Amino acid sequence: MDTYCLSSFATFPFTLGENHSELDATTFQGEQVMKQLLIAILLSTFILSCAYAQDTPKVLMFMRNAEKSGDLEYMLKKEVGVMKDTLEKSGYKVVVATLNGSSFTAGSTTVKADIKLADAKVADYAGFILPCLSVPSYPAPPEVSPEAIALVKNALSAGKPVAAQTGSLWTLAVAGVLKGKKYAYAMEEKSSQFAGATFAGTGVVRDGLILTSGNCPYMTLKTNVKDGTEQLALALAAAMKEGK
Q: Same domain, yes or no, for 176 and 69?
A: yes
Mean pLDDT computed over 102-130: 96
Q: Same domain, yes or no, for 38 and 79?
A: no
Mean pLDDT computed over 8-21: 47
More confident residue, 218 or 33: 218
CATH number at residue 182: 3.40.50.880
Q: Same domain, yes or no, for 106 and 173?
A: yes
Short-list 114, 104, 134, 110, CA closest to 61 = 114
Last residue of a domain, which of 36, 53, 70?
A: 53
Alpha-helix residue ranges (DSSP H) falling in 169-228: 169-175, 217-223
For residue 170, pLDDT over 80 is answered with yes
Q: Convert the pLDDT of each residue in 192-240 to its tens digit.
A: 999 999 999 999 999 999 999 999 999 888 888 899 999 999 999 999 9
pLDDT tier at 35, thresholds 50, 70, 90: confident
Q: Same domain, yes or no, for 115 and 28?
A: no
Least confident of 2-16, 147-161, 177-191, 225-239: 2-16
More confident residue, 80 or 5: 80
**Structural domain count, the chain:** 2
More confident residue, 30 or 5: 30
Q: Same domain, yes or no, for 83 and 193?
A: yes
Q: Convert the pLDDT of each residue in 121-144 to its tens digit.
A: 999 999 999 999 988 777 667 889
Question: CA 94 to CA 103: how far, in whole Å?
Answer: 15
Last residue of a domain, which of 53, 73, 89?
A: 53
**Helix 25-55 with 3-10: angle, nearest 10 deg:** 160
Q: Same domain, yes or no, for 43 and 128?
A: no
Contacts of 140 (CB under 8 A, 6+ apart): none
Q: What pLDDT does 56 receive?
A: 94
Q: What pLDDT does 10 receive?
A: 47
Last residue of a domain, which of 53, 68, 92?
A: 53
Q: Same domain, yes or no, for 202 and 85?
A: yes
Question: CA 47 to CA 51: how far, in whole Å?
Answer: 6
Q: Same domain, yes or no, for 10 and 86?
A: no
Q: Same domain, yes or no, for 38 and 126?
A: no
How much is the mean pLDDT over the chain?
86
Domain residues for the domain of 15 are 3-53
Short-list 155, 152, 100, CA closest to 125 = 155
Q: Same domain, yes or no, for 69 and 45?
A: no
Q: Same domain, yes or no, for 119 and 233?
A: yes
> In this prediction, what percent of the chain has a pLDDT beyond 90?
66
Among the ranges 52-56, 58-62, 70-74, which has the highest mean pLDDT value? 58-62
Q: Same domain, yes or no, for 15 and 97?
A: no
Question: CA 30 to CA 234: how far, in whole Å?
Answer: 52
